[in-house]
Structure 1
Amino acid sequence: MNLPPDLQLSQLQLFVRLANAGTLSAAARQLQLTPAAASAALKRLEAALSVRLVERSTRSMRLTPEGELLREHAERALGVLDDARSLLGAQRETLEGEVHLAAPADLGRQVLSPMLDDILARHPGLRIALQVSDVRQDLLRDRVDIAVRYGELHDSSLVARRLHVTQSTLVASPAYLARHGTPQHPRELAQHNCLALHRAERPHTQWVFQRDGAEITVKVAGNRRADDGGLVREWAVQGLGIAQKARLDVLADLRAGRLVEVLPQWQGLRYPLHAIVTAQRHLPLRVRRLLDELVVQFAEIDEADNRASTPA
């Protein structure tokens, strides 16, 4: 594609934001422009290139083949520029620019947010937009640079870097167990109020346990369930029932005594935690360095947890 010599950097930035956001209004908000100003800039870009870049409809926009080609080249060019800026910052041992990070609600609040405090303190030029939700984000459509997710990766258009391996565990508050007793076998959970988390819009009420090579699945029930893992954890802390959580999400509560493990002799399922990026997009240096930082921070969690679990 032949680009005009007077093509402006802001035009390319707007077009890439538009392509990734899917709507002109969303791209305008990200660039702090009015929709009218963003529309005018897009029209000027199309006029300068003498091609139609976007097929417009009343509710959405779709890139033309020429638009897809421009996005590919524009992302590469903007990525190279970001790398140059970051490398100049790296000479001062700092990271600069903005990174959009998505994570499950409880993990984002309990684990990632404290990690980011330390990272941002060491890199004052870095800005992190953290999206916390138990609904999985689309990396391209939602403008996410890094998504932190539990489970295995099955999408070939994404690249995963393993951060941690966690295990599901049963937890309850000391007050709940004092009132209702402590179950000694998974089947006794039928006598308890179990707090369920919605997964893929369905309540997760089939809890799996393993011990000595054997596996047992128990169907649980209770009077509360939510699609927010953080809310389920808070209910458990309040003494409202027993929850099955990723151990990583409740480490702080276990250490503080707000929660205790239930049936610790029965192991829950183990599953990995990954940092995921798209394979189709150039990764600015600040994104790659933040990935490295997260790997280091999670390794420190592993070491601290192992020390705490080892008898003196």
Structure 2
Amino acid sequence: MVKTDDLILFAQVVELGSFSRVAEQNSLTNSVVSKRIARLEESLGVQLLYRTTRKLTVSEAGKVLYQGAKNVKQATVEAVDALSGFGEKVTGHVRMSVPTISGDLLLADAVADFCMQHPGMTVDMSLDNHFVDLVAEGYDLVIRTGYLEDSSLIARHILDSQWVICAAPSYVSRNGKPHFPEDLASHNCLKYAYQTTGASEWEFKGEKGNYIVRVNGNFSTNNAAALRKAALGGHGIAYVPRCLVYHDLMRGDLMDLFPKQVGKRLGVYAVYPFTRQPPQKIRLLIEHIRERYLAISHYF
């Protein structure tokens, strides 16, 4: 059985090139370091290091193991860093921007709860769908759905958001149910104007990858709540994030028309300006928000 702490120790030996330096760094004796590396080699059934009186040489097997061992070491460091500050008093102000759907669904409650847990914290949260300029507009944190291209920002993935194509039973009874994506051309498709791919371009899964079906309709809006109400009223077919209509689908007020074929799935990210170590208040707030998202991950 390979022990995780032996893998971390092995990664340190490779990086420092010396048993004695690793022993000193970890407050161990040289013999303990040697025995733990020998235990690792015995567990794996391979020689990882060649030892001489002058130097250590990493074997081919050792080079392969090191690639994984250093990831274990890095993950351990990051996990400990992420917990830094938990239980301590957090104070300060955070200016953040969040999408309208997530803001209504869970973030308003989650962020207000965070402020209750940390009496020294204040948060100014704006609901906005466009990707704000964090630095120019003075934001500390942004929650966004979609792709991140700005390398001066740090993005932490929270979860993925699946989109659905849905309609009210009353619309389907009057107009029939589309059986294939191409059938949408003869239906009234309600368009969500806030989309990077275009409101009239709906994405589907295909055998050779995702493809686009162009649709038409008599109603378009950049407000997700308005689009949902139009769909619930039986006025057409909507293409929206699943979390927006989760309860409507569960109650049968809306029907999922292509449950396994919709190709649009976007990541939800916590984004903040690049810094080697984000402020404690930002780390704790991101973790609090992430837990709230994951608690209702089935909505997405």
| Aligned counterpart for 1:238 among listed residues 228, 233, 236 | 233
Task: Provide closer, same or farther for how the CA distance between residues 268 and 107 of structure 1 changes in structure 2, counting only shifts above 3 A.
Answer: same
**Which residue in the other structure is 2:145 paired with?**
150
**Offset, 1:182:** 1.9
Question: Is 226-235 or 144-153 further displaced after alignment?
Answer: 226-235
| Aligned counterpart for 2:110 among listed residues 115, 127, 133 | 115
Matches within 5 A, 1:154-165: 154-165=149-160
Structure 1 residue matching 2:296: 3-state secondary structure:
helix
CA contact under 8 A between 1:211 and 1:265: conserved in structure 2?
A: no
* Alpha-carbon distance in structure 2 between the residues aligned to 1:281 and 1:229: 36
Counterpart residue identity of residue 180, structure 2 = H
Question: Is 202-211 or 218-227 further displaced after alignment?
Answer: 202-211
**Which residue in the other structure is 2:98 paired with?**
103
Q: TM-score, normalised by structure 2?
A: 0.63
* Alpha-carbon distance in structure 2 between the residues aligned to 1:241 and 1:219: 15
**Which residue in the other structure is 1:51 paired with?**
none
Task: Provide closer, same or farther for how the CA distance between residues 292 and 201 of structure 1 changes in structure 2, counting only shifts above 3 A.
Answer: closer
**Which residue in the other structure is 2:292 paired with?**
297
**Which residue in the other structure is 1:135 paired with?**
130
Matches within 5 A, 1:235-274: 235-274=230-269
CA contact under 8 A between 1:150 and 1:274: conserved in structure 2?
A: yes
| Aligned counterpart for 2:202 among listed residues 207, 212, 219 | 207
Matched, 1:285 2:290: no
* RMSD of aligned residue pairs (Cα, Å): 2.9
Structure 1 residue matching 2:171: 3-state secondary structure:
helix
Counterpart residue identity of residue 172, structure 1 = A
Structure 1 residue matching 2:137: 3-state secondary structure:
coil
**Offset, 1:147:** 1.0
Counterpart residue identity of residue 285, structure 1 = Q
Structure 2 residue matching 1:204: 3-state secondary structure:
coil
CA contact under 8 A between 1:133 and 1:228: conserved in structure 2?
A: no
* Alpha-carbon distance in structure 1 between the residues aligned to 2:97 and 2:106: 13
Task: Provide closer, same or farther for how the CA distance between residues 126 and 236 of structure 1 changes in structure 2, counting only shifts above 3 A.
Answer: farther
CA contact under 8 A between 2:161 and 2:242: conserved in structure 1?
A: yes
Query: Gapped runs of 5+ residues in structure 2?
Result: 1-83
**Offset, 1:233:** 2.5
Query: Gapped runs of 5+ residues in structure 1?
Result: 1-85, 307-312
Q: Which of the two has higher C-alpha Rg?
A: 2
CA contact under 8 A between 1:111 and 1:249: conserved in structure 2?
A: no
CA contact under 8 A between 1:160 and 1:275: conserved in structure 2?
A: yes
Counterpart residue identity of residue 150, structure 2 = D
**Which residue in the other structure is 1:229 paired with?**
224
Counterpart residue identity of residue 299, structure 1 = L
**Offset, 1:198:** 2.2
Matched, 1:198 2:193: yes
Task: Provide closer, same or farther for how the CA distance between residues 239 and 97 of structure 1 changes in structure 2, counting only shifts above 3 A.
Answer: farther
